[in-house]
Amino acid sequence: RLTFLNRLPPSEGKAPVSFFIYADRSKILRVLSNLLGNAVKFTQGGSIEIQIEKNKTQLILKIKDSGIGIPENELSAVFDPFTQASNNPFRDARGTGLGLSIVKDFVKAHHGSIFVESTPTQGSCFTLWLPLEDHHVDKNKLDFSELVEEDSMNPTLLSSPSSFEELDLAPFARQVPGRSSLLIVEDTPQVLQALAYVLKEDYNL
């Protein structure tokens, strides 16, 4: 069983706190889906905490889990292409080891940065920094044309072995007129359920 915790700064008066960034929406969703998906995948029970704050120029988002963690001697390479942690229970079953590498590339393309802190058996914390709306770069400088997509590197990924189980997705099936529809494709049931939980308030799934 997983517990999800959302940590937001206190409201300013009666109005909720808002954060605005200039970004490619699909790329940022890909970043968040990957980070949250990893947190769910590698946390067998415990908690996942999502914390959002800001300073004068940047949005700061942290995704912290109480999962298996990453060995200290492997932290420096965690964003390198084709790298998977040695204690990754899924390393022989699926994936290319490109997920976090693509995350870092997408973040850098937005002129942001990402860091990780981790302790084996205690969990990991990924911290994402992105420029706020008033400090964003010219949209013409956001160039994603040279970024490599994970799917293009592994066209047989969908045939990788995996353990499917029947999920009750009925709570996420509510259709709200006027909302955009989003199709989520994910072969890890727990990750699929977590993504649906996070996105259900903004999309028809």
Is the per-residue pLDDT at 102 higher than 50? yes
187 secondary structure, DSSP code: S
pTM more than 0.85: no
Tally of CB atoms within 10 A around 98: 22
Tokens, residue 46: 């415990």
**Which string of DSSP letters, residue by residue, matches 10-65?**
PPBTTBPP-------HHHHHHHHHHHHHHHHHT-SSEEEEEEEEE-SSEEEEEEEE
What is the per-residue pLDDT for 136? 62
Q: Per-residue confidence at 181, pLDDT binned at 50, 70, 90?
A: confident
Residues of the chain above pLDDT 70, percent: 63
CATH number of 1-138, picked from 3.30.565.10, 3.30.2350.10, 1.25.40.10, 3.40.50.1820: 3.30.565.10
Q: Per-residue confidence at 62, pLDDT binned at 50, 70, 90?
A: very high
CA distances from 108 to 40, 111, 137, 194 (A): 24, 5, 12, 26
What is the per-residue pLDDT for 122? 92
Q: What are the extents of the domains in the chain?
A: 1-138, 162-205
Tally of CB atoms within 10 A around 61: 23
Number of alpha carbons in the 13 Å side-chain half-sphere of residue 112: 28
Q: Per-residue confidence at 94, pLDDT binned at 50, 70, 90?
A: very low
Q: Per-residue confidence at 126, pLDDT binned at 50, 70, 90?
A: very high
Over residues 27-44, the pLDDT tens digits come to 888 898 889 888 888 888
Confirm if 59 and 132 have CB atoms less than 8 A apart. Answer: yes
